[in-house]
C-alpha cells in the first residue's frame, strides 16, 4: 500500500495504515530539507503533507521547523525527517547548516511569482556548495491559480533537468501532487541508497577475491 495518495483511501484503510506505522520500526530514515524564497508556501506544503490540512494565513517561519512523517513503500516503512527553513533574506544563512548531510532537498518556488523562480538558481548553488550529493526536487507551488501563473511548467522542467533535479508542480491549498512529491523523492532516495550499498558490496567482494601467489623459496647454491 502506498501512503503517497492518502486522499484516495477510505477512513478505515487510513486507520489500518496508521496502526501499522505506529507498530513498525522504520526500515529507512532520510533527512529532507525544505527551502525557497519567503512566501512560496513551504510551511503550508509541509502542513498539508503531515496533517492533510491547509491554513490560508500562516505565520512567517523564523529559523527552523521540524516534522517527521512515515510512508509505506514496497512493504517497507520510510521515515522522513523534514526541516522547514526560513526563506527571508535575513535568515538566508541559517538553512546552509541544515543542507549538510541532507539526503533530499525540496526547493519550492511560486508559479505565480517569476522572481521566486529566478532565485532558484542561487538556491541550487547554495545547496551544491554545501552538499553535492543531495538529491534536489524543484517544486512549483500554488498551482491552483493558473490565471496568475507566470512560470510555464516547460521552462521550470528544463531548468530542473539542467540542474540534474527532479520536477513537479503542486498546490498546498488543494493538496494536488503534495503526497506524490514526497513519495517520488522518497523512492529516488531509496534507489540511490540501494545503488550505494550495491557498489560497496561489489567493492568488498572484489577485494576478498584478490589472491596473492606465495613467494617462491630461493634455492641454496652450494659451491
User: For cell 567493492, what's the residue?
Assistant: 203
Q: What is the pLDDT of residue 149?
A: 97
pTM for the structure as a whole? 0.78
What does the pLDDT profile of the chain (223 residues) look like in tens digits? 344 444 444 445 455 555 555 557 889 999 999 999 989 999 999 999 999 999 877 666 656 788 999 998 888 899 999 998 876 555 556 667 778 889 999 999 999 999 999 999 999 998 999 889 999 999 999 999 999 999 999 999 999 999 999 999 999 999 999 999 999 999 999 999 998 887 765 655 555 555 555 555 555 555 4
Q: What is the pLDDT of residue 9?
A: 41
The strand pairing partners of 82, in sequence order, are 32, 67
Q: In whole angstroms, what is the distance from residue 57 CA to residue 197 CA?
A: 44
Q: What is the pLDDT of residue 215?
A: 56
Helix (H) / strand (E) containing 178? helix 178-208
Do 65 and 113 touch, CB atoms closer than 8 A?
A: no
Domains along the chain with CATH numbers:
6-208 (3.40.50.300)
Q: What is the pLDDT of residue 1?
A: 37
Q: Does residue 135 sit in helix, strand or coil?
A: strand
How many Cα atoms sit within 13 Å of 81 on the Cβ side? 11
Residues 6 or more apart whose Cβ sits within 8 Å of residue 31:
81, 83, 101, 102, 103, 104
Amino acid at each position: 500500500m502506498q501512503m503517497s495518495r492518502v486522499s484516495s483511501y477510505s477512513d478505515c484503510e487510513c486507520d489500518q495504515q496508521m496502526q501499522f506505522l505506529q507498530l513498525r520500526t522504520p526500515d529507512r530514515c532520510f533527512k529532507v530539507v525544505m527551502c525557497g524564497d519567503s512566501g512560496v508556501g513551504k510551511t503550508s506544503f509541509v502542513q498539508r503533507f503531515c496533517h492533510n490540512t491547509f491554513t490560508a494565513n500562516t505565520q512567517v517561519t523564523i529559523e527552523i521547523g521540524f516534522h517527521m512523517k512515515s510512508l509505506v513503500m514496497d512493504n517497507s516503512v520510510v521515515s522522513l525527517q523534514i526541516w522547514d527553513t526560513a526563506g527571508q533574506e535575513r535568515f538566508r544563512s541559517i538553512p546552509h547548516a541544515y543542507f549538510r548531510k541532507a539526503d533530499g532537498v525540496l526547493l519550492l518556488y511560486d508559479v505565480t511569482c517569476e522572481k521566486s523562480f529566478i532565485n532558484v538558481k542561487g538556491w541550487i548553488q547554495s545547496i551544491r556548495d554545501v552538499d553535492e550529493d543531495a538529491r534536489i526536487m524543484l517544486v512549483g507551488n500554488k498551482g491552483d491559480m493558473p490565471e496568475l501563473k507566470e512560470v510555464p511548467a516547460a521552462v521550470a522542467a528544463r531548468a530542473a533537468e539542467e540542474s540534474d533535479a527532479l520536477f513537479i508542480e503542486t498546490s498546498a491549498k488543494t493538496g494536488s501532487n503534495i503526497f506524490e512529491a514526497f513519495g517520488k523523492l522518497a523512492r529516488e532516495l531509496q534507489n540511490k541508497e540501494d545503488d550505494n550499498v550495491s557498489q560497496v558490496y561489489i567493492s568488498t567482494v572484489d577485494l576478498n577475491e584478490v589472491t596473492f601467489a606465495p613467494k617462491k623459496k630461493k634455492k641454496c647454491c652450494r659451491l
